[in-house]
Structure 1
């Protein structure tokens, strides 16, 4: 028997929660409801949650803060909701680790389609190759480099600091999460850009090239981020957490 996916709805609007919960249950999903961050953490501690629908505007800690904290602890997929249309909110939501983003008002049918898409996409990705302790590490060593995850910059063997853009940092974190595992372009785009990646987007090649430049990895004969013909890219070094 197939396992029923469990969706956690986090929104302080009781009517929206009830309507979404009823619709999702009628379409074969299990649901739980939380009206604030405290209740969200309680649900996560008490249940196996497959996906979170997270409203930005919440009492106490807002959705963006909760998403950022969640990403330091878990890879559970998140779809963010907001009543605001500012592009900044959408960008920040993706930066905080959201997998998708919906602006109110939206149809329950569209949300269901997004849920199925996010679950399908995230489950097609390779498993994380390091533990939560590695995810929350302040420094990760790979090859001759150290990534400072607090300040988001690289430290060379001679202690020279190399800054990273937001895009470069996200891409490097993806590679560090899957060392010695081939990642194709679609997987890299999903992990770094989520819904923002277009179906024909090949910007990942440019991003890999820029990251190689930061790492002084010879683009003609790279030894760290290698190109696997007709498959994708692979981080060909081990990764370890520094004490």
Structure 2
């Protein structure tokens, strides 16, 4: 039976660290989610067999079966959204996790606010995916899939972006050819309650420009004393 939209989403926290499990369970529960916890993938499997779970916060490095192996088993279109939590924050680790079907990859340590924002994004993408909605935007030969959180260059090669970089680029492509101030970008990419400094946006934009490679500097143009402007025309695919 399809879950009623009035019902709170069900979250499963899988981490061998008791303090992390308790912190995430408390913070997500305070936001109205139904939260369960598991110390390993054996306990995770028991919960998934017993209950309908909408999203799994999955630690990568655990005794016994690791999160990477577990993700291979549970990540599917009709399954829960998988959000990796890991002390392995290198780009190659994030790319492996995302290619295995995880919707997001959060490097430890991360704040409860960041986890909450990521859970919301993952649940929204899952609803869109299960409803058959594929939101793809194109610009200068690039393709950005807003549901799968993937971006492909003009040659069709998947480009790895962090969650923050993807959110920032999404803010640009959804508002092309408009001057966006740092404050607007900060709110669009991280939410209205972000306490990050404006300079963090400059650093993120520099990283996105590098990953866009050819033409990157022209795609995101600096408008002195005003902010930034995304130059290419954007079309829905």
Alpha-carbon shift at residue 190 of structure 1 (Å): 2.7
State whether residues 135 and 147 of structure 2, in contact with CA within 8 Å, keep that contact through their aligned partners in structure 1.
no
For structure 1, which segment, 81-90 or 65-74, has the greater mean C-alpha deviation from structure 2 after superposition? 65-74
Rounded to whole Å, the distance in 2 between the matches of 1:16 and 1:183 is 34
| 1:33 and 2:43 matched | no
Query: Under a length normalisation based on structure 1, what TM-score does the superposition of the two structures give?
Result: 0.56
Q: Which residue of 1 aligns with 2:109?
A: 105
Aligned residues: 152
Rounded to whole Å, the distance in 1 between the matches of 2:78 and 2:43 is 17
C-alpha RMSD of the superposition: 2.5
Q: Which residue of 1 aligns with 2:123?
A: 119
Q: Which residue of 2 aligns with 1:66?
A: 70
Q: Which residue of 1 aligns with 2:18?
A: 14
Moved over 6 A (4+): none
1:82 aligned to 80, 86, 91, which one?
86
Matches within 5 A, 1:1-243: 2-71=6-75, 74-127=78-131, 183-186=134-137, 188-191=145-148, 193=150, 195=163, 197=166, 198-199=169-170, 200=172, 232=237
Q: Deviations over 1:90-124 (max 9, x none)?
A: 11100111001111111111101111111112212
What are structure 2's unaligned runs of at least 5 residues?
Answer: 138-143, 152-162, 175-234
Q: Deviations over 1:159-218 (max 9, x none)?
A: xxxxxxxxxxxxxxxxxxxxxxx744158443262847431569xxxxxxxxxxxxxxxx
Rounded to whole Å, the distance in 2 between the matches of 1:17 and 1:125 is 28
Q: Specify whether residues 87 and 184 from structure 1 end up closer, same or farther in structure 2 by C-alpha distance, changes over 3 A only.
A: closer
State whether residues 77 and 118 of structure 1, in contact with CA within 8 Å, keep that contact through their aligned partners in structure 2.
yes
State whether residues 183 and 231 of structure 1, in contact with CA within 8 Å, keep that contact through their aligned partners in structure 2.
no
Query: Under a length normalisation based on structure 2, what TM-score does the superposition of the two structures give?
Result: 0.57
Q: Which residue of 2 aligns with 1:223?
A: none
